[in-house]
Structure 1
Amino acid sequence: MSDIHGIDPSVPPSGAGCAQCDAAGGWWFHLRRCAQCGHVGCCDSSPAQHATAHFRESGHPLVQSFEPGEDWYWNYDSGELFESGPELNPPASHPADQPAPGPRGRVPADWTKSLRR
Structure 2
Amino acid sequence: MADEFDGINPSVSSSGPGCVECTETGGWWFHLRRCAQCGHVGCCDSSPSQHATKHYETTSHPFMQSYEPGEEWFWDYRTNEMYSSGPELAPATSHPVDQPVPGPAGNVPPDWQSLLH
Mapped pair 1:104 → 2:105: yes
- Distance in structure 2 (CA, Å) of the matches to 1:93 and 1:115: 21
Structure 2 length normalisation: TM-score?
0.96
Instruction: Quote how far apart the aligned CAs of 1:4 are.
Output: 1.5
Instruction: Quote how far apart the aligned CAs of 1:91 are.
Output: 1.2
- Distance in structure 1 (CA, Å) of the matches to 2:9 and 2:64: 11
SS of alignment partner, residue 63 of structure 1: strand
Q: Which amino acid aligns with 2:93?
A: A
Instruction: Quote how far apart the aligned CAs of 1:12 are.
Output: 0.1
Unaligned stretches of 5+ in structure 2?
A: none
2:94 — aligned with what?
Answer: 93
Unaligned stretches of 5+ in structure 1?
A: none
Q: What root-mean-square deviation, in Å, do the aligned CA atoms of Structure 1 and Structure 2 show?
A: 1.3
Percentage of pairs with the same residue: 63
SS of alignment partner, residue 41 of structure 1: strand
The number of residues matched between the two structures is 116
- Distance in structure 2 (CA, Å) of the matches to 1:95 and 1:24: 20
Structure 1 length normalisation: TM-score?
0.96
Q: Which amino acid aligns with 1:90?
A: P
Instruction: Quote how far apart the aligned CAs of 1:67 are.
Output: 0.3
